[in-house]
């Protein structure tokens, strides 16, 4: 996407169309030229208004802040891409956080340009609109154009990475197998600076005694892959390791999901795609942080050799797990992947997973949950992540919850003895596989609610959302300043 800033008043810029943000229903601002039409059409500044004669699209935004600007830019792009125009111009909008506002503006446009239409015969193949930003600002305040341009470029990269993750998650399970994920990871390494990729097959998994990961994969005709991507810049200040749940399909296994619940389970690879997109973003943003992504790619299927409820699995860590439900497979794959990831000696370890339906029930479908042992890390992540506009909430562990995953057969059970607190008991299951020295360096993100939508909201369209790619890139970007 091409976005430029010109050091000119908006009226002195030539473009096919203009976008004006109507901030908090203020219809009296000097940018507004169609007040008479507004009266006739009963437009009060909410939603969008297309003034064809003046070639202006008015887009209502709630506030002059980065989150509202992102949504406004998304709505502007979505409405204008349908027109037969080659581009549009827009003034500069920002509050005190100028950088975040320009990042968000660019993100909104790039998110607005996303569409997954490869399986439609009648494709709306919209061309990319060229966008020109005027240095004239809504508040009449001056700003540094060079810094704003850097923020715009950052926003383009961040949202591009979210769109990349969406493409992978939206891809259908018959095509997007663990091998396909491995191929995509190799392409990322080939096409970006300082990224390496290692792919490991079943033989390696058995050498490494990753028996929980192997058990989950066993009944599928699509073999599992452990994928390790690493971004290593010169002189990094920190090492952050992401672990992604990459179930390319989750049928539930022998504890088979009912049909209604199985639908959308191609999205059970969202954590892995997010981690892959984050690596790409780290390289494209040229971050001075070493970033790793460990992806557990597998398919949870049924068959004569499927793993069973009643099985006991000895994980890579040596801990034994009683399987009481084969649909609680994500935590089994992650247990082995988290153990592998700790060998990389991370300063921060973050796992990303569509882990539990209970999380969706508990916090709603718009919000991701953050779990872990360190309040400092959990709340720091939340504070930074929220600048991306996505919703996060912290769920706290407690000692009593631990009793719910005790097993009479093995060291731990993969299923809690109570339905209550299912997101937390899944998080606590993972916590069992975090070694003492990493207990306070680890957080778990349950993205089961917002990763995939059947009904769009905000700038998140039907299907995959790319959550929490942007949030994690904001986090890495903030870490580099610490």
In the set 33, 130, 257, 480, the catalytic residue is: 257
DSSP symbols for 424-443: HHHHHHHHTTS-GGGGGGEE
CB of 267 to ligand BES, least distance (A): 7
Contact partner at residue 415 from Zn ion, ligand BES, none, CB < 5 to 8 Å by partner kind: ligand BES
Q: Where are the beta strands (DSSP E) in 127-257?
A: 130-137, 195-200, 225-231, 239-250
> Does 351 participate in binding Zn ion (rule CB under 5 A)?
no
CB of 175 to ligand BES, least distance (A): 20
CB of 226 to Zn ion, least distance (A): 17
How many CB atoms lie under 10 A from the CB of residue 95? 16
The 3-state secondary structure of 36-105 reads HHHHHHCCCCCCEEEECCCCEEEEEECCCCHHHHHHHHHHHHHHHCCCCCCEEEEEECCCCCHHHHHHHH
Report strand pairing: 452-453 vs 463-464.
antiparallel
Residue 239 falls in the annotated catalytic set: no
User: End-to-end CA distance of the chain, in Å?
Assistant: 31
Inter-residue contact 205 to 224 (CB < 8 Å) = yes
**Given the rule CB under 6 A, which of 195-203, 209-217, 235-243, 356-364 is the region that contacts ligand BES?**
356-364
At residue 245, what are phi and psi to the nearest 5 degrees? Answer: -75, 120
Q: Indicate the length of the chain as a whole number.
A: 482
Q: Which is nearer to ligand BES, 107 or 327 (CB)?
A: 327
Q: Which is nearer to ligand BES, 350 or 448 (CB)?
A: 448
Cα–Cα distance for residue pair 127/118, rounded to 1 Å: 15
Q: Which is nearer to Zn ion, 267 or 465 (CB)?
A: 267
Sole binder of ligand BES in the list 327, 336, 351, 390 (CB under 6 A):
327
Cα–Cα distance for residue pair 284/117, rounded to 1 Å: 26
Scanning residues 436 to 475, which ones bind ligand BES (CB under 6 A)? Answer: 448
Residue 225 falls in the annotated catalytic set: no
> Does 250 participate in binding Zn ion (rule CB under 5 A)?
yes
> Does 268 participate in binding Zn ion (rule CB under 5 A)?
yes
Q: Where are the beta strands (DSSP E) in 367-451?
A: 367-372, 391-394, 412-413, 442-446
> Does 431 participate in binding ligand BES (rule CB under 6 A)?
no
For residue 42, what are the contacts with CB-CB under 8 A and spacing of at least 6? none
* Structure token pair of residue 419: 């339905």
- 137: β partners: 92
In the set 284, 316, 331, 387, the catalytic residue is: 331
Sole binder of ligand BES in the list 68, 222, 356, 460 (CB under 6 A):
356
Residues 293-332 vs Zn ion: string with x where CB under 5 A? ----------------------------------x-xx--
Q: Which of 303, 297, 295 is nearest to 220 (CA)?
A: 303
Q: Which is nearer to ligand BES, 75 or 177 (CB)?
A: 177
Give the count of residues interacting with ligand BES (CB under 6 A): 16
- 368: β partners: 392
> Does 299 participate in binding ligand BES (rule CB under 6 A)?
no
Scanning residues 29 to 68, which ones bind ligand BES (CB under 6 A)? Answer: none
For residue 321, what are the contacts with CB-CB under 8 A and spacing of at least 6? 212, 312, 313, 315, 332, 335, 407, 410, 411, 412, 413, 414
Report strand pairing: 442-446 vs 367-372.
antiparallel
**Given the rule CB under 6 A, which of 209-217, 234-242, 351-359, 385-393 is the region that contacts ligand BES?**
351-359
Q: Which is nearer to Zn ion, 167 or 250 (CB)?
A: 250
Q: Which is nearer to ligand BES, 306 or 328 (CB)?
A: 328
Cα–Cα distance for residue pair 218/239, rounded to 1 Å: 33
Contact partner at residue 358 from Zn ion, ligand BES, none, CB < 5 to 8 Å by partner kind: ligand BES
Q: Which is nearer to ligand BES, 75 or 367 (CB)?
A: 367
> Does 415 participate in binding ligand BES (rule CB under 6 A)?
yes
Q: Which residues form the interface with ligand BES (CB under 6 A)?
A: 250, 268, 325, 327-330, 354-358, 360, 415, 422, 448
Interaction site with Zn ion (CB under 5 A): 247, 250, 268, 327, 329-330
Residues assigned a catalytic role:
257, 331
């Amino acid at each position: 996407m091409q976005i430029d800033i010109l050091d000119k008043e908006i009226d002195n810029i030539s473009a096919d169309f203009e976008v004006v943000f109507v901030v908090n229903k203020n219809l009296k601002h000097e940018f507004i030229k169609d007040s008479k039409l507004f009266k006739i059409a009963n437009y009060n500044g909410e939603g969008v208004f297309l003034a064809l004669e003046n070639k202006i699209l008015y887009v209502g935004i709630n506030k002059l802040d980065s989150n509202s600007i992102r949504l406004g830019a998304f709505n502007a792009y979505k409405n204008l891409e349908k027109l037969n125009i080659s581009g549009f111009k827009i003034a500069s909008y920002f509050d005190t956080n100028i950088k975040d506002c320009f990042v968000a503006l660019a993100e909104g446009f790039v998110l607005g340009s996303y569409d997954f239409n490869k399986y439609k015969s009648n494709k709306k193949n919209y061309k990319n609109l060229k966008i020109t930003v005027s240095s004239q600002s809504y508040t009449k305040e001056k700003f540094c154009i060079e810094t704003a341009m850097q923020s715009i470029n950052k926003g383009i990269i961040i949202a591009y990475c979210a769109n990349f993750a969406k493409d992978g998650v939206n891809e259908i399970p018959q095509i997007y197998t663990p091998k396909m994920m491995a191929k995509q990871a190799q392409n990322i390494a080939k096409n970006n600076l300082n990224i390496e990729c290692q792919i490991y097959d079943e033989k390696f998994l058995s050498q490494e005694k990753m028996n929980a990961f192997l058990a989950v994969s066993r009944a599928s005709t699509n073999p599992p892959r452990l994928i390790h991507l690493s971004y290593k810049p010169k002189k990094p200040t920190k090492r952050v390791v992401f672990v992604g749940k990459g179930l390319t399909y989750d049928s539930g296994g022998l504890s088979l999901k009912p049909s209604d619940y199985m639908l959308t389970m191609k999205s059970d690879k969202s954590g892995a795609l997010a981690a892959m997109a984050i690596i790409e973003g780290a390289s494209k943003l040229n971050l001075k942080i070493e970033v790793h992504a460990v992806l557990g790619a597998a398919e949870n299927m049924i068959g004569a050799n499927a793993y069973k409820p009643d099985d006991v699995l000895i994980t890579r860590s040596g801990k034994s797990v009683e399987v009481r439900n084969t649909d609680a497979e994500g935590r089994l794959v992650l247990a082995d992947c988290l153990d592998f990831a700790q060998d990389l000696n991370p300063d921060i370890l973050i796992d990303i997973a569509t882990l539990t339906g209970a999380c969706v029930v508990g916090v709603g479908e718009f919000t991701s949950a953050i779990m872990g042992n360190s309040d400092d890390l959990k709340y720091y992540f939340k504070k930074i992540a929220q600048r991306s506009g996505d919703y996060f909430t912290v769920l706290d562990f407690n000692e009593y919850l631990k009793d719910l995953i005790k097993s009479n057969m093995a060291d731990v059970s993969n299923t809690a003895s109570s339905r209550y607190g299912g997101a937390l008991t899944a998080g606590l299951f993972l916590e069992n596989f975090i070694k003492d020295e990493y207990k306070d360096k680890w957080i778990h993100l349950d993205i089961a609610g917002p990763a995939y939508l059947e009904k769009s909201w905000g700038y998140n369209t039907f299907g995959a959302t790319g959550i929490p790619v942007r949030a994690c890139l904001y986090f890495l970007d903030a870490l580099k300043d610490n």
